[in-house]
């Protein structure tokens, strides 16, 4: 039985559906933004039906406090416990499939937004899950992998629908870390699962939108990280890479290749995956990218 059947002391979340007797059928700002990002066009404010820049501002306003959450009512994505089966140093990849992998194919797509509903590029997403039989690979890296959101804040994961095991409903694990921000550890769930009603960890706010697709399944989920944002254009991608001094101290803005060695805080580290270093990705903070030498 999986040890993550016991909550880590956090209070169960509230229901995803807001209160009230008359549902608002207007599309949420985030929904319109998501569609606009997928089409690579700007979301017209007239379609949003709510403040276009995540807050209401008179023409004379010049310095307002940022909205503390996405303006369509979404709190930051709630955390959940890591469980006993996380492993650092997962390979960088967007597909967890291997030749002959059994199971129903699953594609998960989505975006990572900040508190003003603007996409965040370069977010580290580390996924892990059970196989079709409900077992985790604790000796290798089957059904484990990390990736980064693209310049539009989008991600895409190709995997299978995970199997069930005692005590838990069907779920995916993920860690999300925006540059320079803390790690969010959480889980994603499937709608319509009978065990959703008996799993003590299940949180309806973490339900993916899932549909059948010709024998496979397609899911969507948008993360909202607790990252303050100002209205205006979304974050720009980090500039071009620079070359770090061989064997020197780790520094943001440097381009590292697998096998490169650096020092940080008096300790030595070796690079596991090629990447462009960003603030918040110091070697002790991102075990998917660095390990102690």
Residue-wise pLDDT tens digits, 220-234: 999 999 998 876 444
Calpha distance 8→81 (Å, rounded): 6
Contact by Cβ (8 Å): 135, 198: no
Contact by Cβ (8 Å): 113, 68: no
pLDDT-based confidence at residue 208 (cuts at 50, 70, 90): very high
Mean pLDDT of 200-225: 95
Residue-wise pLDDT tens digits, 3-41: 444 444 443 333 333 344 444 444 454 555 555 555 543
Contact by Cβ (8 Å): 176, 80: no
Residue-wise pLDDT tens digits, 251-293: 887 878 777 888 888 888 888 877 778 777 888 888 878 888 8
Q: What angle do CA 19, 206, 48 make, to 5 degrees?
A: 60
% pLDDT > 70, the chain: 69
Mean pLDDT of 47-54: 28
Would you say the pTM of this structure is higher than 0.75?
Answer: no
Lookup: tokens for 209:
């939108």
Residue-wise pLDDT tens digits, 168-193: 999 999 999 999 999 999 999 999 99
Calpha distance 121→227 (Å, rounded): 12
Over 50: is that where the pLDDT of 116 sits? Answer: yes
Lookup: tokens for 101:
């992998």
How many helices, marked H, and strands, marked E, lie in the chain? Answer: 2, 14
Residue-wise pLDDT tens digits, 75-89: 799 999 999 999 999
pLDDT-based confidence at residue 247 (cuts at 50, 70, 90): low
Q: DSSP string spanning 115-131?
A: TTS-B-TT-EEEEE---
Distance of CA 290 to the CA centre of its chain: 20
Give Cβ neighbours of residue 18 (< 8 Å, ≥ 6 apart). 73
Q: State phi, psi for 156 to the nearest 5 degrees.
A: -150, 125
Calpha distance 114→19 (Å, rounded): 24
Q: In what order do the strands lie in the sheet with 267-271?
A: 261-264, 267-271, 290-292
pLDDT of residue 265: 84
Q: Is the dihedral of CA 255, 258, 263, 267 positive or negative?
A: positive
Highest mean pLDDT among 55-59, 207-211, 225-229: 207-211
pLDDT of residue 136: 97
């Amino acid at each position: 039985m999986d040890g993550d059947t016991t909550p880590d002391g956090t209070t169960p979340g509230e229901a995803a559906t807001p209160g009230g007797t008359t549902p608002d059928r207007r599309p949420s700002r985030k929904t319109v933004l998501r569609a606009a990002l997928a089409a690579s066009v700007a979301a017209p404010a007239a379609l949003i039906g709510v403040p276009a820049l995540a807050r209401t501002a008179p023409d004379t306003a010049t310095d307002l406090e940022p909205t503390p959450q996405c303006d369509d009512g979404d709190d930051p994505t709630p955390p959940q416990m890591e469980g006993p089966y996380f492993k650092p140093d997962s390979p960088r990849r967007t597909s967890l499939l291997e030749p002959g992998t059994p199971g129903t194919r699953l594609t998960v797509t989505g975006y990572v937004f900040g508190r003003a509903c603007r996409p965040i590029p370069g977010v580290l997403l580390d996924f892990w899950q059970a196989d079709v039989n409900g077992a985790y690979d604790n000796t290798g890296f089957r059904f484990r992998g990390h990736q980064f959101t693209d310049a539009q804040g989008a991600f895409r994961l190709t995997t299978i629908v995970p199997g069930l095991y005692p005590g838990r409903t069907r779920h995916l694990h993920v860690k999300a870390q925006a540059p320079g921000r803390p790690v969010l550890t959480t889980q994603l769930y499937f709608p319509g699962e009978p065990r959703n009603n008996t799993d003590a960890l299940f949180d309806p706010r973490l339900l993916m939108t899932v549909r059948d697709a010709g024998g496979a399944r397609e899911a969507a989920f948008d993360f909202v990280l607790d990252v303050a944002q100002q209205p205006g254009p979304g974050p720009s991608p980090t500039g071009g890479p620079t070359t770090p001094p061989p064997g020197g101290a780790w520094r943001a803005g440097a381009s590292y290749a697998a096998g490169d060695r650096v020092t940080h805080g008096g300790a030595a580290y070796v690079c596991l995956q090629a990447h462009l270093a960003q603030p918040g990705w110091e070697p002790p903070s991102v075990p998917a990218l660095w390990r102690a030498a």
